[in-house]
Structure 1
Amino acid sequence: QDWVPGADPFGEAARALDDAGLEVHTWVVLAHNSRMGAEHPATAVHNAYGDPYPWAPCIARPEVRDYLVTLAAEAAVRPGARGAELESCGWYGLAHPHAHDKTGQLPLSGAAQYLMSLCFCPVCSAGYTGLGVPAAELRGAVVRALEPVWAGAPAAPADRAGERAEIGALLGADLAGVAHAWREGAARTLQRAAVRAVRDAAAGEFRVLLHADPAAHRCGANAGVDPADVLAHADGVVVPCTGDDAVRADALGPFADRPAGATVAANLTVVSGMGGRPGALAADAAHAASLGAGELRLYHAGLASDRDLAAVRTALGVLVERSGG
């Protein structure tokens, strides 16, 4: 690497953190890779219109899955690290915060985001057909369901359950069931293989968490998971919790019934310019804890302004005082 000075920037940072008494855990981004899509276009998700998403590798492709599993093991297990967090360990799709994106002018519901993220590459097309629905039939249903969106139909807000119900209403229960079965099966296969590969590479006690969303149909950095399934093989999850109390309850609630010892960490954005709430951090963190979150993640100190960081310091002081620490 040449974007950070030094021969071993990770090692230097790990030693500095260890000297300060802080545990070191790696953070690995998996199925979000624009370079892969640019150099190997066939590996990318292709939507119902045939457009590729170069940033979104299709995780149903065996060669992509093998690459991501190898990357997870090689990047996560580093000298000095005692665990790892795997981001985007599942499907990526349309949504891609980037300077050149031009999709924000037309708000899409969660269901429309899902439809625009369905992959119709040859591997996925064969997968749908193998589950009993010709890919052309599913593709046609997706295109028809999206026509009102392009005509300007308003996007009604919905929670996770509402999104899934809307997908079923738009595609029909049978087509939606096939799409869910194919995609969720591919995601589970990747997630299990990645966790197993990291543990095998670590060859010792090494905690593996997934950045995860409890709605299996969702895409992105917080990949959709089945809460019961993911906690049967991973040590825990990091869950997006930025927003009001209802947002946190919807995100953390599905993980309430979990195995003893499983970690649930609440991830709160603390950058005001990214929709974060640093001024409400103490209250938001306390609410997350009341919903079962045992750890906290703050995204992202390196992007926060001095004002945001000052608010974070104040909030953390309040939390430490409340805990008696």
Structure 2
Amino acid sequence: MRASAFVYPWDVNGDPGAPGRIASLGVDQVTLAAAYHSTRALTPRHPRHRIVTAEYAAVLYPPDERWARHDLRPHPAGDWAPGDAFGEAAAALAAAGLEVHSWVVLAHNSRLGAEHPHTSVVNAYGDRYPWAPCIAQPATRAYLITLAAEAAVRPGASGTELESLGWYGLQHLHAHDKTGGVGLGEAGQYLMSLCFCPVCRAGYGEQGLDAEELAAAARAALEPVWRGAAKDDDWGDVERGLGAEAAAATLAWRETVARTLQEEAVAAVRAAAPKGFRVLLHADPVSHHCGANAGVDPAHILSAADGVVVPCVDGTHRLAPFARHAHVDTVLAANLTVVSGMGGAPGRLAADAARARDDGANELRLYHAGLASDADLAAVREGLEGW
């Protein structure tokens, strides 16, 4: 059961001890960020810094000339990951005996939304989500597909993991976030993540819906939520709020948009990659879920990609729906948080890995070798040895 640790280039570059320290955990691989959203990250062992502020979504390598024909294009990182930060880190990690796979964040980009507001998801109230590009828009799709191919297939990478390859909605850890005052529940999250940009309005029309009536129905369905009466019946509450037929029609539009984007992005990566290059998606088996782990249909996504990376948090595993559709060589990677300060339980790693295996996992992902404390890393080392 192979194990890989997530890591950022800034965890490695400038710290000669980092590659050996990561290898000593007992992992076979690292999943190294090549394109990443804005963040503020702790670096508890780096000899030069303790906090890295990535000010905007960026590629962590020099983008090439393919972007000359695109209006939407990625930005290289600032001083938090200058030059070919990915390539430098990948070479150091490979020298320590670690296989390197790229980690590519796609439809999660606040700078894109700030510079090109029309690309963003628009909710039923008319509010834009600058962090969430609307994946139905042709120019946005072209940008994401091109970025997937370039960022995934970096020199030194033998595979990739594509994050946020689907709908991104309301849920987002924004700077000084103040959105937790009202519990939305699963249904509220879906309703607040429905997009009403011009392309999506036309898409709802293709499904037989009037976009204005749909937006009004979504707002009416959300009224009990704002009064603090949210339930957590997930899709049942969406159907009650919008009507079963309208709910199904919104889902049909969104699923078609996401599926075709996923197919095209995976195909673009494969076309750019050498033989044997593995393409995985960070995924959730509930197709209407939004976020970094894109909602997918398990049978469909495993017919397109080599496998999935699935979050396994607080003992809740979503692997079984994928396991039912896995092939002999399908990768089912259980993503376990091993940072205590972020709710992880590194001391329970062996037990959690065993449970994930029972649910169908054949690989592990450990989030996150750069963010974890020394005590957390010691627990990971012990857990992998025991495992």
TM-score (structure 2 length as normaliser): 0.78
Contact preservation (8 Å) 1:212, 1:224: yes
- Alignment correspondent of 2:150: 74
The offset of 1:24, in angstroms, is: 0.9
The one-letter code matched in structure 1 to 2:245 is D
- Alignment correspondent of 2:13: none
- Alignment correspondent of 2:320: 253
- Alignment correspondent of 2:314: 243
- Alignment correspondent of 1:317: 385
1:169–1:22: structure 2 CA closer, same or farther, 3 Å change rule? same
- Matched residues in 1 for 2:99 and 2:369: separation? 17
- Alignment correspondent of 1:195: 266
- Alignment correspondent of 1:175: 246
1:276 to 2:352 alignment:
no
- Matched residues in 2 for 1:99 and 1:127: separation? 32
5+ long unaligned stretches in structure 1: 157-161, 320-325
- Matched residues in 2 for 1:104 and 1:124: separation? 27
Q: Secondary structure, in 3 states, of the residue corresponding to 1:86?
A: strand
**Runs of 4+, deviation exceeding 3 Å:** 4-7
Q: Secondary structure, in 3 states, of the residue corresponding to 1:231?
A: helix
Instruction: Please identify which structure carries the higher helix content.
Output: 1
Instruction: Please identify which structure carries the higher strand content.
Output: 2
- Alignment correspondent of 1:265: 333
The offset of 1:166, in angstroms, is: 2.5
1:40–1:138: structure 2 CA closer, same or farther, 3 Å change rule? same
- Alignment correspondent of 1:159: none
The one-letter code matched in structure 2 to 1:303 is L
The correspondence of residues 21-170 of structure 1 with structure 2, limited to 5 A, is 21-156=97-232, 162-170=233-241
Taking only aligned residues, the RMSD between alpha carbons, in angstroms, comes to 1.3
Aligned residues: 310
Deviations 1:117-138 (A, max 9, x none): 0000010011001110111111
- Matched residues in 2 for 1:178 and 1:270: separation? 39
Q: Secondary structure, in 3 states, of the residue corresponding to 2:160?
A: strand
- Matched residues in 2 for 1:107 and 1:303: separation? 28
- Alignment correspondent of 1:293: 361
- Alignment correspondent of 1:304: 372
The correspondence of residues 218-237 of structure 1 with structure 2, limited to 5 A, is 218-237=289-308
Contact preservation (8 Å) 1:242, 1:277: no
1:9 to 74, 85, 109: 85
5+ long unaligned stretches in structure 2: 1-76
Deviations 1:43-62 (A, max 9, x none): 00000000000000000001
- Matched residues in 2 for 1:164 and 1:235: separation? 29
The offset of 1:10, in angstroms, is: 1.8
Q: Percent identity?
A: 65
- Matched residues in 2 for 1:28 and 1:69: separation? 11
The offset of 1:144, in angstroms, is: 0.6
